[in-house]
Structure 1
Amino acid sequence: MSYVMDEGLALAAGLNVIPKRSFLTEYSCRIDPAYYPKLMRAWFDAVTEIGLGWGVSFNLDFHTIPFHGEDALVEKHYVTKRSRRQKGILAFVVEDAEKRVFCYGNADLRKEEQADEILRFVEFWKSRTGKLPEELVFDSKLTTYANLHRLNKMDIRFITLRRRSQKMLEQIYQTVASAWRRVELKGVT
């Protein structure tokens, strides 16, 4: 059954109907950007209040929300699903890796600001919990080496993911077997 036709889901969300896909993929400017931090704090507090708690490891990523209007101020960003660049709003999202709950988001980013958004998340997390996040997992292109250095100085562990290249595979194949250590991951889905 289509979720769009599910009246119960709409009612639980406080709506009379679930918004259609076209509405959800359009960027809405009806909310003043000054209210975004207040909304983030309210969401954070609501999740904490219902007892979900927070983990120590976080997945960070950028997502482009396609924009099909004529706004001249909207920048072009890479859209993974379409494997191309197109006009869109760049959103930065952070998910608690254990609880699978979003704990931070910012859709008011310009290209020149995106590399520092990881530091803004760290600052937000510390202001909300009183401590720094323990572990961050993100794509290697999410930030700069200077910001990775800052994370190191703050003793925040991080894992960067990068695409395999032919050169990287060749280096791996040339490594002697005794240099490897076997690691077994349990409970991975």
Structure 2
Amino acid sequence: MAALPKKSALTSYSYRLAHDHQQRFLAALDTTMIAHGLATSDQAIFDLDFHAVMHWGHDPVLEKHYVPKRSQRARSVLTFFAQDTDTHNLVYANADTSKATQARELIAFCDHWASASGHDPAMLIMDQKVTTHRVLGELDARGVKFLTLRMRSPALLRHINALPTAAYKTITLDRPGPHNKPRVHEDPHTTLTDYPATVRQLIVTGLGREAPTVIITNDTTSTTRELVSRYARRMTIDQRLAEIIRAFCADALSSTVNLNVDLDIMLTVLAQALLAALRARLPGYATITPDVIQRRFLETPGTITTTSQTITVRLERRAYTPVLRAAQLPTNTPIPWLGNRTISYQLD
């Protein structure tokens, strides 16, 4: 858990895996996360985003994608992530994507979540570049709510500039800071290109950006305040991606083959889930990032004693040992893939 295995360690088995192996593992992982409260099944609202993992060599096979940290398009592997909005835990990832298939990744996620939980997601929240209006129409036909942005075309900007001041109403968001009282104009029946019906459009000003934010959704029951607040919270997925890059070196490609990177990305979801489970046990560390958990607890030296039936991990004393004592780590936990040996922890 301190560091994901990379190319030399993965070579012996990563080349034998296929994308469906990773997907079945994630479905089983999500089922377990739901059972232990690390993901919510009833609410089922998710934040979606892409992340381009840049390749530093010269490989003409890889497609060019926009890399935000370089502010340019570069040879990279495009990865897709889904985050549970309520718990802020990653529940899905896929690196086997291309320009031709990326617009349908949210449909693939809906299929995945249906297999893991028994029902489709209730709502998907995403940036405007994640998919197309045609695919949004498929989501609506499937009964899945969406919340996304609309590109500000010249015609839309002219419409926004022509709106009188009285057309806006002020709402109050439940968050600190100077931008918690934006002004919103709502169009309940807006048409889109390639979308079979009308959508609810919210034109929002006062969020700290120079240009208005244009939100579109097929959710007709939630209040304006709820919709704006939900989209504002979508930015937490960028924080999760930054955390796994910093803690698990997720930006270091183990291969130029998408399916091999797919295994790495799946392992980051697993590692993030394991750390979330540990973090929930540590008093006072409920919001601490994975890299801090690694430095203070996972990198603790110790002695591992193995017998035919047990594995005993004896950890040396450190400044944060009292926190581990209060964590009530599970004892005598069987490990099926190690001959059902039980593992227990001891603290000096």
TM-score band by shorter chain is 0.7 to 0.9
Map of 1:146 onto structure 2: 134
Moved over 6 A (4+): none
The partner residue of 1:120 within 108, 122, 126 is 108
Q: Is the 8 A contact 1:75 1:87 kept in 2?
A: yes
**Aligned pair in 2 of structure 1 residues 159, 36: CA closer, same or farther (>3 Å)?**
same
Map of 1:56 onto structure 2: 44
Map of 2:72 onto structure 1: 84
Q: Is the 8 A contact 1:92 1:107 kept in 2?
A: yes
The alignment partner of 2:170 has SS state of coil
Gaps in structure 1 of 5+ consecutive residues: 1-12
Q: Whole-Å Cα distance in 2 between the matches of residues 116 and 147 of structure 1?
A: 7
Offset at residue 46 of structure 1 (A): 3.4
User: CA-to-partner distance for each residue in 1:156-185, whole Å, 9 max, x for gaps?
Assistant: 221112566787555334212332233322
Offset at residue 73 of structure 1 (A): 2.2
Could you tell me the percent identity over the aligned residues? Answer: 31
Offset at residue 42 of structure 1 (A): 3.5
Q: Whole-Å Cα distance in 2 between the matches of residues 165 and 39 of structure 1?
A: 42
The alignment partner of 2:169 has SS state of coil
**Aligned pair in 2 of structure 1 residues 130, 42: CA closer, same or farther (>3 Å)?**
closer
Q: Is the 8 A contact 2:63 2:76 kept in 1?
A: yes
- Does residue 1:130 correspond to 2:118, yes or no? yes
Q: Whole-Å Cα distance in 2 between the matches of residues 155 and 49 of structure 1?
A: 25
Q: Is the 8 A contact 1:94 1:104 kept in 2?
A: yes
The partner residue of 2:29 within 26, 43, 59 is 43
Alignment of 1:157-168 (within 5 A): 157-162=145-150, 168=156
User: CA-to-partner distance for each residue in 1:48-100, whole Å, 9 max, x for gaps?
Assistant: 24322314321111110111234442211110111101111100111111110
Moved more, 77-86 or 67-76: 67-76
Q: Whole-Å Cα distance in 2 between the matches of residues 123 and 181 of structure 1?
A: 38
- Does residue 1:33 correspond to 2:23, yes or no? no
Q: Is the 8 A contact 1:67 1:87 kept in 2?
A: yes
Offset at residue 124 of structure 1 (A): 1.1
Alignment of 1:89-100 (within 5 A): 89-100=77-88
Q: Is the 8 A contact 1:125 1:132 kept in 2?
A: yes
Q: Whole-Å Cα distance in 2 between the matches of residues 131 and 36 of structure 1?
A: 20
Q: Whole-Å Cα distance in 1 between the matches of residues 113 and 133 of structure 2?
A: 21
Q: Whole-Å Cα distance in 1 between the matches of residues 172 and 79 of structure 2?
A: 34
Equivalent residue letter for 1:36 = Q
**Aligned pair in 2 of structure 1 residues 51, 38: CA closer, same or farther (>3 Å)?**
same
Q: Which has the larger radius of gyration?
A: 2
Equivalent residue letter for 1:48 = I
Q: Whole-Å Cα distance in 2 between the matches of residues 130 and 49 of structure 1?
A: 13
Q: Whole-Å Cα distance in 1 between the matches of residues 172 and 145 of structure 2?
A: 20
Gaps in structure 2 of 5+ consecutive residues: 176-228, 234-348
User: CA-to-partner distance for each residue in 1:96-133, whole Å, 9 max, x for gaps?
Assistant: 11110111111011110101111111111112111121
Q: Is the 8 A contact 2:27 2:115 kept in 1?
A: no
Q: Is the 8 A contact 1:33 1:108 kept in 2?
A: no
Q: Whole-Å Cα distance in 2 between the matches of residues 155 and 38 of structure 1?
A: 24
Scaled by the length of structure 2, the TM-score of the pair is: 0.43
